[in-house]
Amino acid sequence: MNATRFWRPLAALAFGGASFIGALSAHAAYNPPIHMANGVEYMSGGISSDEAALMRTVAPRWPATFEFAIKDGTRSDFAADVSVTVRDAAGRTVLSHVNAEGPFMVARLDPGRYEVEATLAGSTLKQTVEIHAGSPTHTLFLWPAGTDVSAHS
């Protein structure tokens, strides 16, 4: 069973600029819950177009934003059900295998350097992220086409 979900229509919305702000005022967006693990708040979502707009709107108020997608030819599909692990510069686990339920995840990480692992359908990408006080970061995790295809399909 393929648990990964994709939303092609969101790509246009996510990269469409200010048009999503109008969508927010026209419709009440579901606010994904804020979770806490090891003293770190995080939130994930972006499944619907309203929720994606909300996540884009709140992202600048969070120190770290992670975006998950799969490259499919000339465009990208958003990915969800991504397992995320964050370790600080000393190698201590800050977030351990938390589930990003949508293509966006925001986290209140303290300033510093972190290694972030994002796993989709058994394929793990790693990136180093530097968090600076007052300067939010955005990190894209982009898997190659076919990553979401189960070996048993």
CATH number at residue 98: 2.60.40.10
Residue 4 placed within a domain: no
| Domain region containing 30 | 9-143
Residue 44 placed within a domain: yes
Q: Which two tokens stand for residue 71?
A: 């490259």
pLDDT in tens, 50-93: 999 999 999 999 999 999 999 877 777 889 999 999 999 999 99
- Cβ proximity of 146 and 77 under 8 Å: no
CA distance 123 to 2: 14
- Cβ proximity of 72 and 133 under 8 Å: no
- Cβ proximity of 103 and 80 under 8 Å: yes
pLDDT in tens, 80-90: 999 999 999 99
CA distance 44 to 31: 10
Residue 152 placed within a domain: no
Q: Into how many domains does the chain fold?
A: 1
CA distance 99 to 96: 9
Residue 150 placed within a domain: no
Residue 153 placed within a domain: no
Question: Any idea which of 74-83, 107-116, 141-150 has the lowest mean pLDDT?
Answer: 141-150
- Cβ proximity of 37 and 95 under 8 Å: yes
CA atoms within 13 A on the CB side of 127: 19
Residue 2 placed within a domain: no
Residue 93 placed within a domain: yes
Confidence of residue 28 (pLDDT cuts 50, 70, 90): low
Residue 100 placed within a domain: yes
CA 77 from chain centre, in angstroms, equals 13
- In this predicted structure, the answer to whether residue 111 has a pLDDT above a threshold of 90 is yes
Q: Which two tokens stand for residue 126?
A: 């790693």
